[in-house]
Structure 1
Amino acid sequence: MIPNVLKMKKILILAVCSLVLSFSCKTDRSTQEKEASSPKEITILEKVANAHGYDNWKDIANIKFTFNVDRDSSHFERTWSWNTKTHTVIMTTRQDTISYNRKAVDSTTASTDGGFVNDKFWLLAPFQLVWDQNNFSYEHTEQIEAPISKQKMHKLTTVYANEGGYTPGDAYDYYFGDDYIIKEWAFRKANQKEPNMVTTWEEYKKLSGLNISTMHKRPDTDFSLYFTGVEVKQ
């Protein structure tokens, strides 16, 4: 009888273990399915970037644009062609044409690259919120009066780290509505309280899924910064 009792105990233990294992597997599977069905909540940085077509950037192979600045009676412009896959950049002005690779910037091309970073930032600032997110701190507030329109908007402030990059310590204030499309922004050098420049974001154009603002104006002076000849290739 004793062997039979021991045998029954072993069978009972195995059955309990099997039940626990089965329950554990179902629980793990249920948790995994729940996590898979619950999309990761995106940040305010991603929301603004995506509203401007960032999720389509992966398909872009080349972007070309002319950066223009009109101030009073003066005009400045330079044209850029950027191969996003090979990292080759070509700058064209009335005086010169310079080609370089962003993966191999040296002392001879640093100045040109600085100009490219500036002009690209004006063109693709919403995307820079994702590209640069490890290099700045940020704060998002709602129902803030925008400096130009005086309308209540969201305000997203980014403050870059004090070291590295071309504008260490600088701050940018982005103003946008519930659609996350930027309407105005302010630049504050070295994170000073008063802005150095405040401009509009207007005349948006959709190109290959990207939503690009091509005009920026200052209300307090005869100044406009704008883009012409914008071409996007996939």
Structure 2
Amino acid sequence: MKKTILPFLFALSIIACKNTENDTSSSEMNTETEVNASEEKDGIGNTIAMANGLDKFEEAEEIEFTFNVKIQDSLRSSRHWKWNTKSNEISLTEGDETTSYTKTDSIPEDKKSIDSKFINDSYWLLFPYQLVWSDANLTEEKEVAAPISGDTLTKLEVAYNSAGGYTPGDTYDIYYGKDHMIKEWVYKASGGDREMATTWEDYETFKNIPIAKMHKSEDGSFQLYFTDISVK
């Protein structure tokens, strides 16, 4: 099951993403390996996605989750989603209001605001699958110090192109261990004017799908976390 789920928005309470392509170069001493995800679906992108339960997710019919953002102990955002993965019918409950749409290749103008929120929130929830679902340049670098913990991990740069989507040209540096689970990542907005590192922690398994429920900045002032998760 291949889905096209593009970028995500970076704002005070929402950090965003994107499906794109970018040229990167290999570093000295051959510590970096560049792989184009569209050409090597059986490569490292697929390995990480499968370690995070992609094959099990493809059997799922529905997923629900609440996306929460807290800044300085103040809840800035809380959105509950219900996603039928077979029909791509998606509903959002935010406050007392529930709205729905069907995700297709052509989103009506009046549904683009809800679609951009869904893309943002689902990227945080299921980013490992984007290494298979979307096209990006992947550059792997072994034995790199993670930005928050300082642990020695493998870094994978996921670089998207500068055309199309809600936030073109974004880059994500993910840091993962030998189990191919993401431990930390750094989001870099196109143009280099915004950058944020957060953890990937508090993993819990839902129908054999591991999900990191908590993402925190180094000082803990920013927390993005998931509640009410269910997979059917």
TM range (shorter): 0.7 to 0.9
Q: How many Å apart are 1:55 and its aligned residue?
A: 1.5
Q: Is 2:183 the counterpart of 1:183?
A: yes
Q: Return the alpha-carbon distance in structure 1 between the equivalents of residues 194 and 52 of structure 2.
A: 24
Q: How many Å apart are 1:220 and its aligned residue?
A: 2.9
Residue pairs, 1:64-79, within 5 angstroms: 64-75=64-75, 76-79=77-80
Quickly say closer, same or farther: Cα 1:69–1:220, change in 2 above 3 A. same
Q: Which residue identity does 1:209 align to in structure 2?
A: N
Q: Return the alpha-carbon distance in structure 2 between the equivalents of residues 46 and 209 of structure 1.
A: 17
CA contact (8 A) 2:41 2:132 kept: no
3-state DSSP of counterpart to 1:59: coil
User: Any idea what the Cα deviations from partners look like across 1:70-124, whole Å, max 9, x if unmatched?
Assistant: 1114212010000011110000011411010001521100011000000000000
Moved more, 93-102 or 179-188: 93-102
User: For residue 140 of structure 1, what is the aligned residue in structure 2?
Assistant: 140
State the Cα RMSD in Å.
1.6
Residue pairs, 1:70-109, within 5 angstroms: 70-75=70-75, 76-103=77-104, 105-109=107-111
User: For residue 207 of structure 1, what is the aligned residue in structure 2?
Assistant: 206
Q: Return the alpha-carbon distance in structure 1 between the equivalents of residues 63 and 191 of structure 2.
A: 31
Q: How many Å apart are 1:58 and its aligned residue?
A: 1.5
User: Any idea what the Cα deviations from partners look like across 1:32-80, whole Å, max 9, x if unmatched?
Assistant: xxxxxxxx99301011111111111220100000000111142120100
User: For residue 127 of structure 1, what is the aligned residue in structure 2?
Assistant: 129
Kindly indicate whether structure 1 or structure 2 has the higher relative contact order, using CA contacts under 8 Å at least 6 residues apart.
2
User: For residue 155 of structure 1, what is the aligned residue in structure 2?
Assistant: 155
Equivalenced residues, count? 191
Q: Return the alpha-carbon distance in structure 1 between the equivalents of residues 86 and 172 of structure 2.
A: 28
Q: Which residue identity does 1:62 align to in structure 2?
A: E
TM-score, normalised with respect to structure 2:
0.79
Quickly say closer, same or farther: Cα 1:94–1:63, change in 2 above 3 A. same
Q: How many Å apart are 1:126 and its aligned residue?
A: 0.5
User: Any idea what the Cα deviations from partners look like across 1:150-199, whole Å, max 9, x if unmatched?
Assistant: 1111000011111112221000000011110100000000163x861100
Greater share of helix:
1
TM-score, normalised with respect to structure 1:
0.78
Give structure 1 stretches of 5+ with no counterpart: 1-39
Q: Is 2:173 the counterpart of 1:169?
A: no
Quickly say closer, same or farther: Cα 1:41–1:124, change in 2 above 3 A. closer
Give structure 2 stretches of 5+ with no counterpart: 1-39
Identical amino acids, percent of aligned pairs: 40
User: For residue 25 of structure 1, what is the aligned residue in structure 2?
Assistant: none
Q: Which of the two has higher C-alpha Rg?
A: 1
